[in-house]
Amino acid sequence: MLPVVAIVGRPNVGKSTLFNRLVGERWAIVDDRPGITRDRLYREIEWLNRRLVVVDTGGIEPYPADEIGKNVRAQAELAIDEADVVLFVVDGQTGPLADDVDVAEKLRRSGKPIVLAVNKIDHPKHLERRYDFYALGLGEPYGISAAHGTGIGELMDAVLAAL
Ligand code: GDP
Ligand code: MG
């Protein structure tokens, strides 16, 4: 069985954009509206000669705003069950939100290896925004821009090291 890396996080943080970046093609649907990603997507990738499966755990159905927290928690549960490493994505432009704190707590208690990606760091001068996320208690926050493809190498080094 190949190792499984599950991408988890609130709607709109850029999970599908990161998934597409790792897969190298546009598989997942990227949408501006929170909660519109359709499916859980599995794809096999090769990274530095290691084969692994990445999972985009986006919500299956559109859901009302007050259900978002519930949905993200459900994704986190699935990821904890199925994944060898959980890639937890947060939004560097919004900073840590209550749902991030909730999910972080659950992930931390699971004992699974977690790698924390602070997305939407589109410019090096914004890298310091990642420091706000140390408060989640998940170790080093990796600053990335899934849209621009920056920081992905270091992030994936951390994922491979956690396997
Ligand atoms: P998901 O709901 O977590 O799967 O998020 P999506 O991948 O669908 O992205 C949500 C929105 O964030 C889209 O408008 C993306 O274009 C945007 N986005 C994703 N990654 C980045 C990034 O690195 N920088 C910026 N500025 N926007 C991004
Ligand atoms: Mg998505």
Confidence of residue 119 (pLDDT cuts 50, 70, 90): very high
Is residue 70 over pLDDT 80? no
Annotated binding site for GTP: 9-16, 56-60, 119-122
Q: Which domain holds residue 95?
A: 4-162
For the residues 122-126, what does the mean pLDDT come to? 96
* Contact call for residues 72 and 10 (beta carbons, < 8 A): yes
Closest residue (by CA) to atom 13 of ligand 1? 32
What are the angstrom distances between the C-alpha of 16 and each of 120, 125, 127, 139?
Answer: 13, 24, 21, 23
Q: State residue 37's pLDDT score.
A: 46
User: Cβ of 11: how many Cβ atoms within 10 Å?
Assistant: 22
Answer whether residue 85 shows pLDDT above 90.
yes
Q: Measured between alpha carbons, how far is 115 from 139 in angstroms, rounded to an integer?
A: 8
Is the Cβ–Cβ distance between 115 and 159 less than 8 Å?
A: yes
Using the atom order of ligand 1, give the atom closest to the CA of residue 17. 7
Task: Give the count of alpha carbons within 13 A of 92, CB side only.
Answer: 23
For residue range 17-66, list pLDDT tens digits in order. 999 999 986 666 565 555 444 455 788 899 989 999 998 887 444 455 66
Protein residue with its CA nearest to atom 24 in ligand 1: 120
The amino acid occupying position 127 is L
Residue 42: per-residue pLDDT: 83
Average model confidence (pLDDT) for the chain?
A: 86
How far apart, in whole angstroms, are the C-alpha atoms of residue 118 and residue 48? Answer: 22
CATH number, domain of 109, equals: 3.40.50.300
Pocket of ligand 1 (CB under 6 A): 9, 11-17, 30-32, 37, 58, 119-120, 122, 145-147
Number of domains composing the chain: 1
Nearest listed ligand to the Cα of residue 21: 1
Does residue 83 surpass a pLDDT of 80?
Answer: yes
State the pLDDT at residue 67: 67
> Which of 8, 17, 123, when mutated, tests ligand 1's pocket best, judged by the most ligand atoms within 8 Å of its CB?
17
Q: Whose CA is nearest to atom 18 of ligand 1?
A: 14
Q: Which pLDDT value is given to residue 60?
A: 41
Q: Whose CA is nearest to atom 5 of ligand 1?
A: 14
